[in-house]
Amino acid sequence: MARVFNFSAGPAVLPEAVLAQARDEMLDWHGSGMSVMEMSHRGKEFESIIAEAEADLRELMAIPANYKVLFLQGGATLQFAMVPANLMRDAKRADYVHTGEWAKKAISEAKKYGAVNIAATAEDRNFSYAPAQSAMKLDPSAAYVHVTTNETIGGVEYHWIPETGSVPLVADMSSHILSRPVDVSRYGVIYAGAQKNIGPAGLTIVIVRDDLIGHALPGTPTMLDYKQMADNGSMLNTPPTYAVYIAGLVFKWLKALGGLDRMAQINREKAALIYDLIDSGSFFTNPVAKTDRSLMNIPFRLKDDALDDAFLKQAKGAGLIQLKGHRSVGGMRASIYNAMPREGVEALVAFMREFERSHG
């Protein structure tokens, strides 16, 4: 059976080259006589895998030496709790920018640990834009400022970095990490669930500055303490070993491609194909302010919602799947992460053109 073009928001498409290598190494990793899934996480084989994955990620993102890279579990959703548990300290308050569904979930969890100041919100325009720096009412005594830099559901992306002064900036980058270069030094914490743009579900990447480690609130469970995880090399317990292995292969795939500068160019070109079609007429619409449109998650609607089912059915018949929008917003959504080849985007655009011709 031929592979489809999978536009799922997550778990999402992986590079075919990575899948092929994982297939070839499934029964015997580098002459070890066993699968990565069978390895002890304390053995020299897996220790080399996780060390190399970290080294490659550090190289790709130019992560400074005073940051720890943690390979954790629980998804970005667990970080909604881990961030305040580790960073709120004595301040017991933090600033959050409300940009949509995922920011909303992070805010709700943070309120269990202290006071949350909504420094800015896009609710006035149904979360269709990223609030400007001038709209942010920041508390200089806050423990940190939290932003969701790409809203997977709403398709809103920050293409700039908020200024927060001496207050650490924390970013949920789950759905666009590694899609372009980022100045890690501008952030106190960056976290991301792997299942969108890194690898399989089950792995979470946390990049945290050294001075923010070791201040967990009293009563914080050991497994949620950044210091405990950092001191134990992300292996306080058994990590998601196979997911780390696949992530490592993805990092090498990105390096071979030319790194994040090249990946950013490819992603801009892919997204432009879809946005240009949407903007060329009135059959398809995108609700997001043009300056804040995501290059990873593109929501769009048809001129008549009654056509949605036909669009999805015919798209599936053409080998284009997982295009249904999130249940909270409806419509369609094309997630075109790093691993989505240009050919997949071209196939989608061609299908959209033909569907408009037939139903316009």
Q: Which residues are catalytic?
A: 102, 172, 196
What is the DSSP secondary structure assignment for residue 336, as one 8-state letter? -
The answer to whether 300 touches 334, Cβ cutoff 8 Å, is yes
- Output the CA–CA distances (angstroms, integers) from residue 263 to 42, 58, 111, 333, 343, in the order listed: 34, 16, 37, 21, 15
CA distance 75 to 260: 23
156-188 burial code (b ≥16 CB/10 A, e <16):
bbbeeebebeebbbbbbbbbbbbbbebebeebb
Place of tokens 């976290």: 191
Element (H, E) at 119: strand 115-121
Question: Side chain identity at 246, as an amino acid letter?
Answer: I
Collapsing DSSP states into helix, strand and coil, what is residue 64? coil
CA atoms within 13 A on the CB side of 118: 14
CB 24: neighbour CB atoms within 10 A?
Answer: 10
Could you give phi then psi for residue 93, rounded to 5 degrees? Answer: -155, 150
| Nearest partner of 249 among 9, 30, 5, judged by Cα | 30
Q: Give the separation between CA 41 and CA 43, rounded to whole angstroms.
A: 6
Residue 302, token pair as written in the block: 């048809």
